[in-house]
Structure 1
Amino acid sequence: MTESSQDNDADLEKGRLLFAGPWAYVMSAGAVDGLPPRTGIEVAFAGRSNVGKSSLINALTGQKALARTSNTPGRTRELNFFSAGPALTIVDMPGYGYARASKTAIGAWTRLIFDYLRGRSNLRRVYVLIDSRHGVKANDIEALDVLDTAAVSYQIVLTKCDQPKATALEAVLAATRLAISKRPAAHPEIIQTASRTGLGIPELRAVIAALL
């Protein structure tokens, strides 16, 4: 076994141990004055409605129903906090891009997200989920603009990578790399995942563990 492969195995094991604990729902917040006290570090998951945020969080934590999943776009309208201890908290952010929501609701969600991003000093990274079947959309670009403006480190996670054909997936990867290539707050590495098969879940756990 080479040194690099040993390091990789060690990183994967750190990630496995970090997420092996009994994860639990902490609380939901619809306004920044209702946020929980800052404890350890936080990582947040953002993405278009129905991109698979809840399914990914459930896969990461090894639980089937920690985060609610729904076929109804726009169901998550608050910041939802989950934790397995003081070291790490996962934040499920409201999905964006749901056209049927009222302008008032969309405005409220946007303010909540931006205020959270700007004011949460222990937020280490936002993982922006992109559906690999569709690639980066206009609403995703708007979200990346917000993250760049807020100067919050973020990383792209492609979801449902078990569904597109290999050539289509490669095209989405190339287009996504191009979309983030000149963005100041974007992490250059793109993580490919599939919640149904477990693809990329150990690697994403290891990346999050490295932030500690």
Structure 2
Amino acid sequence: MKKLLLSAAVAVFFLTNVIAQERSSGDIEIIPHVGYMSAFLNGDEVDDLDERGSFNFGVIGDYFFNDRWSLRSGINFDSMGASVPGSDLTLNYVNIPINANWHFGSTRKWNLNFGVTPGFLTKAEIDGDDVKDAYQSFQLGVSYGIGYKLEISESFSILFHGQGLVGVTNIISDDAGGNEFTRLNAGSTISIGGVFKI
């Protein structure tokens, strides 16, 4: 019985990994996802600041131009910032990635994406105290990532992906000294999502 179950599991794994899931022009995939983000700050006076971990979630979509290239965009809810011993700076953003996505491998299950991500600050707190006035309401970042799709059927897959975001605009408001020093958000995310072809 154990050999039969093992053989069935191997057969299912083999079949789901050899079937090509190539897409063609005009195909769309919708991908709700959840993950874990490790965020930190670059720039001036950040040596005493540590990484801050949090969960993130969102929905992204791919619009395919052919079987190798798609445009990826969507909406992500990311909690960024940094931590110091006994204190947390929480910076919550609605981020909108606009990335080119290259699908590669013989069955196009791997992808590399890269582009820009505008972000809009929704909350800024230090240990529960509102400090939103000290931060810019908008940031721009460079985004990049790699992913792998495990095909379950022609219309559904599971995506495992890692994403990075490096801010290129100062997050400190002018009123809080943004003209004198610079801080930039950065972070990386490991996520899992469901891929629905529509």
TM-score, normalized by the shorter chain, greater than 0.5:
no
> Higher relative contact order at CA 8 Å, sep ≥6: structure 1 or structure 2?
1
Structure (1 or 2) with the larger CA radius of gyration: 2
Specify which structure has the higher proportion of helix: 1
Specify which structure has the higher proportion of strand: 2
Which TM bucket (shorter chain)? under 0.3
TM-score, normalising length from structure 2? 0.23
